[in-house]
Amino acid sequence: MNENIGATPLVETQKLVKYFPVKGSQGQHVRAVDGISLAIAEGETLGLVGESGCGKTTLGRTMLRLYDPTSGSLFYRGEDITKVKMLAYRRKMQIIFQDPSASLDPRMTVGEIIGEPLDIHKLCSSKAEKRDRVSELLTIVGLNSEQANRYPHEFSGGQQQRIGIARALAVNPEFIVCDEPISALDVSIQSQIVNMLEDMQEDLKLTYLFISHDISVVRHISNRIGVMYLGKLVELATSNELNTNPMHPYTRNLLSAVPIPDPDKSRARSRELLQGDLPSPINPPSGCRFHTRCPLAKPECSQSEPEFTEHTPGHFAACHLI
Ligand code: SF4
């Protein structure tokens, strides 16, 4: 976890909304991201957790303008980039994908894959310079320059993810969305990739949005953690505060599923089981969206939406009972 965090936001969203039209419906939309405001400071890692389908990936991609926002605003270093042409910003903002094998073109060599963004952004003036830069990037991610002539299928899953990371680093980005970067990998190599991302952050002064469905992964790498439920941010706090003093019933549930190494403590802890499945984001529940599954729900919870408010310094949550 990086301790050298700047005071000013690098990336900021204000009431960001991303809806997708439902094909064949009459005006229905998947409300994937529904009014999210957050800021990520330079050098910070903001973890983003929540169940599959809660909108985390859509939020990350909308922050990169890979999707255009439906409404709301997006800022980079204080500049409004909600509607600007993105070419100048593409270099500064990159993404590492979940499934490395699907994100690497099998017909291209590793050197061509990593060299492609260098060509697109015209970052090398000669073939020799490009070859040297590809070698340097391979070294940064723990591979070697002889491997530039091989194809993705010749590498293990962990090595393929290293290639995806080298491709993201090629353009010297400042902000990287890490979208479940280790969940497709063997447990034995997950920590190697996390450690490498942490080292890279320190060496290259990177800022991360680290997306994961697994709060136990996110809490080790993140300075702060945001918890999403059905398109909304329901809690946001420093990693330490969220782990020791979770306020929202949904966050408490996510934490109660994390294994504890001490068997006595593990037995003493009760798991708050959620009822039912994640509701559809096409027609989310009224009031608090979590009320259909919340063990503490009161009648008012289905009628009015709780505000996302700061309860202690830097600790925000949206629940009527706090
Ligand atoms: Fe549960 Fe009500 Fe709080 Fe929502 S507002 S999390 S339903 S107690």
> Per the structure block, which two tokens stand in for 10?
């690098």
Q: What is the 3-state secondary structure (H, E, C) of 246-295?
A: CCCHHHHHHHHCCCCCCHHHHHHCCCCCCCCCCCCCCCCCCCCCCCCCCC
Report which residue type is found at 67.
Y
Kindly give the number of the ligand 1 atom that is closest to the alpha carbon of 289.
Answer: 4
pLDDT for position 37? 96
User: What's residue 265's pLDDT?
Assistant: 61
Q: Would you state the pLDDT for residue 86?
A: 85
Interaxial angle between packed helices 127-140 and 157-169, expressed in degrees from 0 to 180 and rounded to the nearest 10: 130
DSSP category for residue 70: S
137 pLDDT higher than 80: yes
- 261 pLDDT higher than 70: no
Q: What is the mean pLDDT of residues 217-237?
A: 95
8: confidence class by pLDDT, cuts 50, 70, 90: confident
Q: What is the pLDDT of residues 79-106, one digit of tens each?
A: 999 998 888 888 999 999 988 888 899 9
* Burial label, 37 (beta-carbon count in 10 A; 0-12, 13-18, 19+): middle
DSSP states of 3-33: ----SSEEEEEEEEEEEEEPTTSSS-EEEEE
Q: Is 320 in the pocket of ligand 1 (CB under 6 A)?
A: yes
Residue 278 has pLDDT above 90, yes or no: no
* Nearest C-alpha neighbor of 168 from the set 178, 159, 158: 178
- Atom of ligand 1 lying closest to residue 250 CA: 6
Which pLDDT belongs to residue 72? Answer: 97
Q: Are 31 and 62 in contact (CB under 8 A)?
A: no
For residue 234 and ligand 1, the question of a CB distance below 6 A is answered with: no
Beta strands in 97-206 (DSSP E): 175-179
> What is the model's pLDDT at position 297?
93
Whether residue 319 has its Cβ less than 6 Å from ligand 1: yes
* Residue 249: per-residue pLDDT: 95
| pLDDT at 2 > cutoff 80 | no
Long-range contacts for 113-121 (Cβ within 8 Å, ≥24 apart)?
Answer: 113/152, 113/163, 113/167, 114/138, 114/148, 114/163, 114/166, 114/167, 114/170, 115/170, 116/167, 117/167, 117/170, 117/171, 118/170, 118/171, 121/90, 121/91, 121/171
pLDDT, average across residues 12-26: 94
Output the CA 56–ligand 1 centroid distance in Å.
Answer: 21
SS3 198: helix
Q: Considering only CA atoms, which residue is closest to atom 5 of ligand 1?
A: 319
Q: In this structure, what token pair is assigned to residue 257?
A: 């599923």
- d(CA 206, CA 179) in angstroms, rounded, equals 15
Choose among 53, 49, 48, 42: nearest CA to 77.
42
Amino acid found at 225 = I
User: Mean pLDDT across the stretch 230-235?
Assistant: 97
DSSP state of 145: G
Contact yes or no for 283/266 (Cβ under 8 A): no
Tens of pLDDT, residue by residue over 202-222, are: 999 999 999 999 998 898 899
Residue bearing the CA closest to ligand 1, atom 8: 297
With bands split at pLDDT 50, 70 and 90, how would you rate the model's confidence at 264?
Answer: low
Q: Ligand 1 pocket test: which of 229, 290, 307 has the largest number of ligand atoms within 8 Å of its C-beta? A: 290
Predicted TM-score (pTM) of the model is: 0.92
Residue with tokens 């090629």: 170
Confidence of residue 267 (pLDDT cuts 50, 70, 90): low
pLDDT at 266: 59
pLDDT at 268 over 60: no
When pLDDT is averaged across residues 176-204 and rounded to a whole number, the result is 91
Tens digit of each residue's pLDDT (9 = 90 or more) over 245-254: 999 999 999 9
Q: Tell me the per-residue pLDDT of 100-126, one tens digit each, with 9 for 90 and over.
A: 888 899 999 999 999 999 999 889 899
56 band by pLDDT with thresholds 50, 70 and 90: very high
Is the pLDDT at 165 greater than 60, yes or no? Answer: yes
Grade residue 186 by pLDDT with cuts at 50, 70 and 90: confident
